[in-house]
Amino acid sequence: MAATATERKLLIAGDWVATGEWLEVRSPYSGEVVGRVAKAGAGEAREAIDAAARALEAPLPAHKRAEILVKVAGLIGRRHEEVARTISDEAGKPIKTARVEASRAMSTYTFAAVEARKLTGEMIPIESAQAGEGKLAFTVRKPIGVVGAISPFNFPCNLVAHKLAPALAAGCPVVLKPASQTPLSALLLAELELEAGLPEGWLNVLVGPAAEIGDVLVEDERVKLITFTGSGDVGWKLLERSPRKRVKLELGNSTPVVVAADADIEAAAAKLAANAFAFAGQSCISVQRIYVERPRYDDFVASFVPKVEALKVGDPADDETDVGPVIDDGARARIAAWIREAADGGGGTVLAGGEQDGLLRPTVIANVADEAKVSCEEVFGPVVVLNPVDSIDEALARANGTRFGLQAGIFTSSLDTALQAADVLEFGGVVVNEAPTFRSDQMPYGGVKSSGNTKEGPAYAVREMTEERLVVIQR
């Protein structure tokens, strides 16, 4: 274990709990142990739900919830470098990208604080029906109850913040299960929430066997909502198994972007080269498929490929590094096999890529068959496919040719083409003249089709985590 490795216990009912068993957290870059975390099982999961259910019996007023949320944002700011280092160490995320994630988590808490303060129902125009004469009616928003939250490895701080902060804004206690590969950022956030004054039981954090803890969250009726970010295989099964709960899913994508012949090709190439490989492509909206109108295809390739080759691959702790490792050897082997399949069976030409000191270099493959895995599945690695197309209609049709629907993009100087794309692309979000990797933490973010069934962003998540109660008064 590295001299600087962190040791963290579980958080249950306001106490840091050791279970006698420990899980190691390893750097995806060096393989070094960067931390160890107490391992929870079904028993701890039940205790955590008990604690959350007890917390719900003593609701926290909205102003108090907002105050805590603002304080957490401030504490992340105060310990910004430590938060960023924790993200970088456990996820292998380049430190400069990890700093951005830490800042975004501050934003997420800040926006959630606003939602806590303005959470309200609405007046119902009850007298607009004869039956409503002489009556007054309005709704109030009540917390849905205990929230079970399950988060992925790729944004171990901000995607946890996107669950914890809205839940607190909504008045819901949480039982969180972060990804086993990256639990340290979540436990650090939990520490900051306690320091900000969160009373016991409002947040409980468990790290351990996913299926075992997941089963308890699914089976316990006191958990009213499960908010899940991760892979579709896991997410849709959780939903099937929980017919009486709200199960909110933020899943994967195979992000397409169209570059029209009338676009600023240089600007498009610069934005896409910078964004397609951030965190080694392990973002759910990492640019994966680029369709360029044929008259400008060669210009785009000539501008894009050198920019990709100029990205610095290496140690995530280095300030200069743009692209670090993927999360583990299994992911690296899978991605390498998909690249080979695209080049051999898929007829693609590899324009940039290869391996460097055991890391995958940013890989660009041209003219790949739509059936190749790198085209139709989610790569979740530093790989982009480039294809020339004969028309915008063809580009939009091929962009839509996926079971996913999270976010897509288009570069064009034509308002008509931009609006056509916004109309036709079957995605939760369409981004114009910016890489579709764009996310700002207050916007409604979420997918359609296989990509999920909800929107995150504090304002939207708070709605999901509350229920409207109708009040009718006879005057």
Question: Pick the catalytic residue: 157, 193, 284, 293?
Answer: 284
C-alpha pair distances (Å), 231 with each of 152, 153, 280, 299, 332: 8, 11, 17, 36, 17
404 binds ligand NAP (CB under 6 A): no
Q: Is 240 exposed, middle or buried (0-12, 13-18, 19+ CB in 10 A)?
A: exposed
Count of residues that bind ligand NAP according to CB under 6 A: 27
CB atoms closer than 10 angstroms to residue 364: 25
Is 127 one of the annotated active-site residues of the chain? no
Nearer to ligand NAP, 293 or 441 (CB): 441
Beta carbon of residue 438, minimum distance to ligand NAP (angstroms, whole number):
13
Q: Contacts by 329-334 with C-beta closer than 8 Å and gap 24+?
A: 331/380, 331/381, 332/358, 332/360, 332/381, 334/381
For the CB of residue 300, give the shortest distance to ligand NAP in the complex, in Å: 26
Task: Tell the smallest beta-carbon distance from residue 210 to ligand NAP (Å).
Answer: 3
Q: How far is the CB of 229 from ligand NAP (least distance, A)?
A: 5
Residue 93 Cβ, how far from ligand NAP at the closest point, in Å?
A: 13
27 scored as a contact of ligand NAP (CB under 6 A): no
- Does residue 275 belong to the site contacting ligand NAP (CB under 6 A)? no
What distance separates the 2 farthest-apart alpha carbons in the chain?
77
Contact pattern for ligand NAP over residues 210 through 239, marking x by CB under 6 A: xx--x--------------xxx--x-----
Looking at the Cβ atoms of 52 and 292, the one nearer to ligand NAP is 52
At its nearest, how many Å lie between ligand NAP and the CB of residue 312? Answer: 24
Q: Which stretch binds ligand NAP (CB under 6 A): 6-14, 37-45, 171-179, 342-350?
A: 171-179
Looking up tokens 């979540």 gives 186
Stretch binding ligand NAP (CB under 6 A), from 138-146, 244-252, 316-324, 390-398? 244-252
Dihedral pair phi/psi, residue 412, rounded to 5°: -160, 155
Q: Which two tokens stand for residue 36?
A: 């160890």
Q: Which of residues 133-162 bind ligand NAP (CB under 6 A)?
A: 150-154, 159
Determine whether 250 is an active site residue.
Answer: yes
Q: Does 380 bind ligand NAP (CB under 6 A)?
A: yes
Measure the CA–CA gap between 13 and 187, rounded to whole angstroms: 14
The answer to whether residue 252 forms part of the interface with ligand NAP (CB under 6 A) is yes
d(CA 267, CA 177): 40
Are 107 and 441 in contact, with CB atoms under 8 Å apart? yes
Binding span for ligand NAP by CB under 6 A among 14-22, 102-110, 131-139, 209-217: 209-217
| Residue 135 structure tokens | 């009556």
Q: Tell me the β-bridge partners of 293.
A: 389
The burial of 381, by beta-carbon neighbours within 10 Å (0-12 exposed, 13-18 middle, 19 or more buried), is given as: buried
Which sequence positions are flagged as catalytic?
A: 250, 284
Chain positions contacting ligand NAP, by CB under 6 A: 150-154, 159, 177-181, 210-211, 214, 229-231, 234, 250-252, 284, 378, 380, 406, 447, 452
